[in-house]
Structure 1
C-alpha cells in the first residue's frame, strides 16, 4: 500500500486530496482544492492562487491512474466543482478531467445540510454528461482482490449534531490498515472517536482540531477536540498519525498541540503532515496571508478579480 499526498494546507491550499494505491485498486481521495475566500479580511494572495493552479495540475495527473474516486462530503475543497472558479483553480471543463470512466464512492445526500445538498444535486446533474459509475458509499464494504474497502456510516463534521452536516471515513486494508477521516475536527465527536478506536488503524489520516476557529467553537469544544486527539494515541496498532486540514490553518499549530506531540513521542507514534510525507517544508500560506500581502503586495487592481460572482 502506498499513500501519496497531493494537496492540503501544509502544501498551501485547502484540501486533503491524496492518491492511495494497493495491489488491487488505485483510489483518489477527496479530489478537490480550494482557497479561503477571505482570511484576515483579505482574498487569496497571488502566491496562493498560483499554488492552487499547480496542485490542480498534480491532481489531474494522478486521477489518470485512479479507478476509484472517494468523496467524503460536499464542501468545495473535497471534490471538483463543475464550473469555473479562481478559488478552486477550475475551468468549465475541469470536472471532465476528473470524473469520466471512474467508479465514484460518494457521500449520500440524506443527512446533508442545505448548502451541501445543493452542491450534491449540482454535481449529480453535471455527471449526467459523464460516463461513470456512481455509488452512495455510506456504510458500504467491499473486497477487491486482497484489498478490503470499508466506508463508515455518517460521522459528524466536527461536534455531534453539527450544523455543517456529516462526512464519511474510509478504511483501506491490505498489507497495512489505513483510515482516512477528513474534517472530523479533532475528532470533536464521541461517535467519531469511538469509530476510530474500533477501527484500529496502523496509519490514521485525520482532520485535526480547528484551533483557528475561536469564534465558531467554544473553548470547551476546542479543549474536547484536543482531548479526543490524545485518546486517539491509545489505539494499540497506531504507528503513524497524519494531522491535516483545519489544524494547519494556524501557523503555530504545533505549539497548540504540543501535548499531543509529547504523548505521541512517548508512545513512539509518528505524527506527520502531507508536506513531510513528500519530503517538503510546510507552507501554510493561508495562515500567513496577511504577511504575504505585507511583504509581497500585489498590484492595486488585483483584488478586483474576486468581485465577480463567476469566480466564487
Structure 2
C-alpha cells in the first residue's frame, strides 16, 4: 500500500486530500482544497494561494488516475466546488470521470448547505451520488456517520474510510477532530496501522474550549493501537496546534506527526502566518480582485 498526502494545512492550505494505491485500486479521498477567507482580518496571501494551487494540481492529476473517489462530507475543502470561491477546486476543471467509482457521504445528518453542494456535484457528474455509509467493497469499508468534531456543536457528520491490503490498514477519519470517543472506538475496531485525521481546532478555543484535553486523551488511545498517527487539518491552523502535536508525540506510544512530515517535508503553516506574510511581502492593491477575475498570476510566489 502506498499513501500520498496531497493536501493539508502543514502543506500550506486547507485540505485532507490523499491517494491510497493498492495492487488493484487507486483511491482518491477528499479531492478538495480551500483557504480561510479571512484570518487576522486579511484575505489569503499570494503565498497561500500558490500553495493551494499546487495542491489543486496534485488533486487533479490524481483524479485522472483514480479508480475510486471518496468524499467524506460536503465542505469546500473536501470536494470539488461549483464556483463559489476562486481558491477552491472547481468542478469544471475535473478530467473525465469515465470508469471511476464514487463513494460518498449520504444525505442524512448534513446541513442545508452541504445538501445543496451534494446535489450540485450530482448534477455535474450526471448521476445520483451513492450513500456509502456502512458499505464494503473489495479493500474498502466505510463507517456509519460520525460527528464532525464534538457531537453537541451541531457541525453535522462525516464518513470515515478504511482500506486494507495485507497486514496494512489505513483509516482516513476526516474531520472528527478527535473530539468524539465513539468515533475513535470505531477506528480502533478497524484495527488500523495508519490513521490520518483532523486534530482539534485549537485556533477556535473560544468555541471549543475542551478540545485540547479531550483530543489528547483520544489521540493517546489511538497511539496505543496504531503504528502511525497523522494529525493535521484544523489542528495546524495555528502554531499552538503544532506545539500540541509535538507534546503529544513525546507522550504517545507510537509515531505521531503531521501530514508534511509523513511526506518527508518541512511543515508550512501558512494560514497561521498570514499576518506575518503580509508584513514580510506586502500585496499590491487590487491583487485579489485581479486573481478572482483570472487576470493575476503568482509565479513569483511559487
Same structural fold, with TM-score higher than 0.5 when normalized by the shorter chain: yes
1:210 to 201, 217, 237: 201
Alignment partner of 1:177 is 2:175: no
Query: Out of 140, 147, 156, which is 2:135 matched to?
Result: 140
Q: CA deviation at 1:306?
A: 8.1
Question: 2:63 maps to what in 1?
Answer: 63
1:253-306 superposed Cα distances (whole Å, 9 cap, x missing partner): 232244421122xx2x11122212222111111110010011101112224458
| Structure-1 residue corresponding to 2:241 | 253
- Whether the 8 Å contact between 2:201 and 2:211 is mirrored in structure 1 is no
- In structure 1, the residue matched to 2:111 is 113
Does residue 213 of structure 2 align to residue 223 of structure 1? yes
TM-score (norm 2): 0.90
State the 1:38 CA deviation: 0.8
Gaps of 5+ in 2: 294-302
Q: TM-score, normalised by structure 1?
A: 0.88
Is the contact between residue 27 and residue 70 of structure 1 (CA under 8 Å) also seen in structure 2? yes
Residue 161 (structure 1) shift: 3.7
Question: How big is the shift at 1:99?
Answer: 4.0
1:31 aligns with 2:31: yes
Which residue in the other structure is 1:93 paired with? 92
Question: 2 CA distance for matches of 1:277 and 1:79?
Answer: 23
**Contact 2:245 2:257 survives alignment (8 Å):** no
In 2: Cα distance, 1:209 partner to 1:85 partner: 25
The aligned counterpart of 1:200 is 191
Identify which of 212, 228, 231 aligns with 1:243: 231
**Relative to 1, partners in 2 of residues 1:31 and 1:100: Cα closer, same or farther, differing over 3 Å?**
farther
C-alpha distance in 1 between matches for 2:52 and 2:233 = 15
Question: How far off its partner does 1:139 sit?
Answer: 0.6
Task: Rate the CA distance shift 1:293–1:122 in 2: closer, same or farther, 3 A.
Answer: same
Q: Deviations over 1:151-179 (max 9, x none)?
A: 00000000124421000000111121111
C-alpha change, 1:8 and 1:284, in structure 2 (3 Å) is same
CA contact (8 A) 2:200 2:211 kept: no
How far off its partner does 1:307 sit?
A: 8.6
Partner Cα separation in structure 2 for residue 195 and residue 184 of structure 1:
12
Residues 108 and 137 in structure 1, CA contact (< 8 A), matched pair in contact too: yes
Match of 1:272 among 243, 249, 257: 257
Conserved in 2, the CA contact under 8 Å of 1:60 and 1:98? Answer: no
Task: Say what the alpha-carbon RMSD is for the aligned residues.
Answer: 2.0
1:113–1:163 contact (8 Å) kept in structure 2: no
Return the offset for 1:126: 1.6
For residues 81-126 of structure 1, give each alpha carbon's deviation from its aligned partner in whole angstroms, at most 9, with x where no partner exists: 1336312153x621x3274431110000121111111111121122
